[in-house]
Amino acid sequence: MSIKKIGVLTSGGDAPGMNAAIRSVVRTAISHNIEVLGIKNGYKGLLAGDIVQLKSRDVSDIIHRGGTILQTARCKEFMKAEYQERGADMCRVFGMEGLVVIGGDGSFQGAEKLANLGINTVGIPGTIDLDIGCTEYTIGFDTAVNTAMDAINRILDTSSSHSRCSIVEVMGRNAGYIALWCAIDTGSEIVILPEMHDITDDDIIKNIVENRNRGKKHFLIVVAEGVGASDALAHKVEHITGIESRVTVLGHLQRGGSPSALDRMHASLMGVHAVDLLVEGKAKRVVSYVKGEYVDYDINEALKMKKELSQEMLRASKILSVK
């Protein structure tokens, strides 16, 4: 039996490309004569019934815009079974025969709960953090990492002019992907990641002193926010080496901005894939990008998958940072 109506929501931290994904879901559904309901503010809006119909024109002129036209939210209540059941009831009341959830792994856990309550959910990975185990790509990462890289380039101009040590903290919650990419792409001397358990302040200072002895005058340390303690590190570096040190926390500027071509493309194709799954009667799935192809996994299995940092990238960052 063909489906007639689906919902779509964005949840968790917004990511550039979410709008392109919403647009793709809406237009693909309409091409199958399926009506689309846009749920505002993630699970919060689902519980509140903050739901509007989305037609093709409603998603015009959004492919190039960062953020999410549906707004997003973090909804603590949704962690509780009682609210998940209410969410499932809301999907039924509004006649949704499928629900596309665009977000990170937290949002997918919400989708999994709804799926276990009989709602046909499909997840599209949307987070700048790239920390979803089942997929090699998450919408927003490319734009965020380019924004962070661009900001670091600017910091390098002033850092080199003053012969300083710049410590730049980038986003990524407990995952080091943005930091590792930024470190390699900006040629930082040191990268400090939540996944690294063996790097000490003494190692960092030794590295700076060795590089200084080779003639290096300014230094860049990229720190993933999950590690934190950047101010204390700056203080220590300055105190021990005498090199003036400054901390910049890039923060939310990394989450905004017009999505890159890569993010628009992944978002567009993942949106088509998600709706195709619902049309084929497949649900409880997460759309993923693996080895150059769009695939999908059972949501329960997907959430069990762990992502390891690339050893090849870690090795390259070490080799290439010796000046």
Active-site positions? 129
Size of the site for ligand F6P (CB under 6 A): 10
Residues of this chain that bind ligand ADP (CB under 6 A):
11-13, 43, 74-75, 78-79, 103-107, 109-110, 113, 127
Q: How many helices (H) and strands (E) does the chain have?
A: 11, 11
What does the angle CA 185 – CA 190 – CA 194 come to, to the nearest 5 degrees? 95
106 binds, among ligand F6P, ligand ADP, none (CB under 5 to 8 A by kind): ligand ADP
| Binding track over 95-124 against ligand F6P, x by CB under 6 A | ---------x--------------------
What is the C-alpha to C-alpha distance for residues 50 and 41, in angstroms, rounded to an integer?
8
| SS3 assignment, position 122 | strand
Contacts with ligand F6P in 233-262 (CB under 6 A)? 255
Of 212, 213, 198, 201, the closest CA to residue 237 belongs to 201
Please say which residue, 160 or 248, places its beta carbon nearer to ligand F6P: 248
Instruction: State yes or no: residue 171 binds ligand F6P (CB under 6 A).
Output: yes
Stretch that binds ligand F6P, among 169-177, 191-199, 272-280, 282-290 (CB under 6 A): 169-177
Q: Which is nearer to ligand ADP, 39 or 234 (CB)?
A: 39
Given CA atoms 17, 295, 111, 275 in this order, what sign does their dihedral have?
A: positive
DSSP secondary structure, 23-41, as one string: HHHHHHHHHTT-EEEEETT
DSSP state at residue 85: H
The secondary structure of residue 185, as a DSSP letter, is: H
Please give the residues from 2 up to 31 whose contact with ligand F6P meets the rule CB under 6 A.
13
Nearer to ligand ADP, 110 or 259 (CB): 110
How is residue 323 written in tokens? 């000046």
Among residues 55, 173, 246, 307, the one that binds ligand F6P under rule CB under 6 A: 173
Q: State the residues that interact with ligand F6P by CB under 6 A.
A: 13, 104, 127-129, 171-173, 225, 255
